[in-house]
Structure 1
């Protein structure tokens, strides 16, 4: 199924981000949060009044999650931090690979148990330099080693299955997970081999039906898969380097996707003028809310 459904959506944030990533919608405040990782900037967009705000960060943030009404957790190249909503104050929470300054965080997501899965990678995407970790409160457990570009971290609605990829390897993996803890209880297996198509697996989310929505970096699409790996549909995005989707809206029935222009030549950016914008896809979805991170 190589044909794409035509793009019927819209640009919701026109800033062209070098590496737009990590979108997460918070239904409690009606706010979409995401990053320009390489621009050290956190964005928030209030859906109701379409108000966009930007917050400069002292690090390369990649993942944000709700903690409670007062606090958020941010994963970054300097570890995990707590952000105070009231004034934006940021304080260290948990160290992550502090002995490997050549690495940074990348993709991650909170499991329904409240634990975080967070991936790391080399700043130049060195082969095998990173890993994927499980963070429960302040306890950090390494799950998978020798990861080059961790992406597509997401979970089935009941928390019994985890998904991830190493984008350099370009195969989506599936692993059984303990729903109570978010820890794997088996060995990963290949769900989808993406090496026979344009682009690579990037960020993913799972909807209420258990289907996986994946951003295809270099493929200019968001692809939807059944839980058994069957490709259901491909949706065109008017930017080639799409990075990560998120469910948004009061009923989580809309889908947005971030994008990037990192690594593009001047000529390539001219040919891809919306690279780095943030889009609403324009399709109806049965999304689910993101869990809060638990201390």
Structure 2
């Protein structure tokens, strides 16, 4: 398998890769050098939208705008002008938490996790609440708490919602009711041993395989629909953060990565840490959805 370096961008925490078929473009974020980025593989053109604080996720709306989840709250971003308009204040103490991970369901509801990430000192770790957002209902608390949410994805039929609790190494599955957005029947889908890193961002293929980036383990791991391990794919960086299916047939996997908190000797061993990579997945993925206006 050939793993290609697409962008040697040295991202601090590259995340949330999302393919937009109509634009033939990949959007992604850098959490800590806060910006939304766009990459077009046809001509290798790039564009960036700087943010005013840590960005933990985003959702495109398909009308030239996006909703971005910043430490300061939710904002509507005009992709033409770069203007930010507030939508909702942060539902947490922004000195202790920030948003982390976001994805839309098939009905256009934006789900947003959190991360305990204090700006000062080392206070005892706390859990933050999962949220969802629609323009009609605003920001809504959801029945799940974790120190670090990640790995959001839905099964092909939309009836199962996956979510990682990264700090405990658990990938959780819920029954999902699409019209209401209700989650229920919580169970552990799979676990990742601590020595292999933590389960970070994820993607689903058309065969029901769940692809998880093992942050700190330098791998993508594909889980079968029953939660058993199918295979591992070694990557040239130790901190992959999220895979995303892309391309005309959704058979190319792009992978974001991080260089955050790496020592100088580790960076010397991984000069492409924080880069964007891609390879032929050997299967097809499921396209991510827009936020419904």
Q: TM-score, normalised by structure 2?
A: 0.92
* Partner Cα distance (1:121, 1:254) in 2: 29
Which stretches in structure 2 are left out of the alignment for 5+ residues? none
Match of 1:204 in 2: 202
The 2-side partners of 1:220 and 1:282 are apart by 18
Tell me the secondary structure at the aligned position of residue 75 of structure 1.
strand
Which position in structure 2 is the counterpart of 1:85? 79
Q: Could you tell me which residue of structure 2 aligns to residue 3 of structure 1?
A: none
Match of 2:70?
A: 76
SS in 1 for 2:139: strand
* Misfit runs of 4+, over 3 Å: 98-101
What is the deviation of 1:181?
A: 2.9
Do the aligned partners of 2:127 and 2:147 also contact (CA within 8 Å) in 1? yes
Structure 2 partner of 1:220: 218
Tell me if structure 2 keeps the 8 A contact 1:113–1:159.
Answer: no
State whether residues 218 and 240 of structure 2, in contact with CA within 8 Å, keep that contact through their aligned partners in structure 1. Answer: yes
Q: Provide the C-alpha distance between the structure 2 equivalents of 1:67 and 1:83, rounded to a whole number of angstroms.
A: 10
Contact residue 65 and residue 292 of structure 1 kept, 8 A: yes
- Are 2:275 and 1:281 aligned? no
Length-normalised TM-score, structure 1: 0.92
- Counterpart of 2:129 in structure 1 is 131
Which residue among 217, 223, 229 is the counterpart of 2:227? Answer: 229
Match of 2:61 among 55, 61, 67: 67
Using a 3 Å threshold, how does the CA distance of structure 1 residues 14 and 196 change in structure 2: closer, same or farther?
Answer: closer
Is the contact between residue 14 and residue 241 of structure 2 (CA under 8 Å) also seen in structure 1? yes
1:19 matched to 2:18? The reply is no
Q: Is the 8 A contact 1:121 1:131 kept in 2?
A: no
Matches within 5 A, 1:88-127: 88-97=82-91, 99-124=93-118, 127=125
- Residue in structure 1 matched with residue 253 of structure 2 by the alignment: 255
> 2 CA distance for matches of 1:246 and 1:232?
18
Deviation at 1:188, TM superposition (A): 1.2
**Structure 1 residue 196, shift from structure 2 partner:** 5.7
Q: Provide the rounded CA distance (Å) in 2 between the counterparts of 1:175 and 1:145.
A: 10
Deviation at 1:99, TM superposition (A): 4.6
The 2-side partners of 1:102 and 1:154 are apart by: 26
Gaps of 5+ in 1: 1-6
Cα offsets for 1:220-262 (capped at 9, x unmatched): 1111111210111111110000001111112222110001111
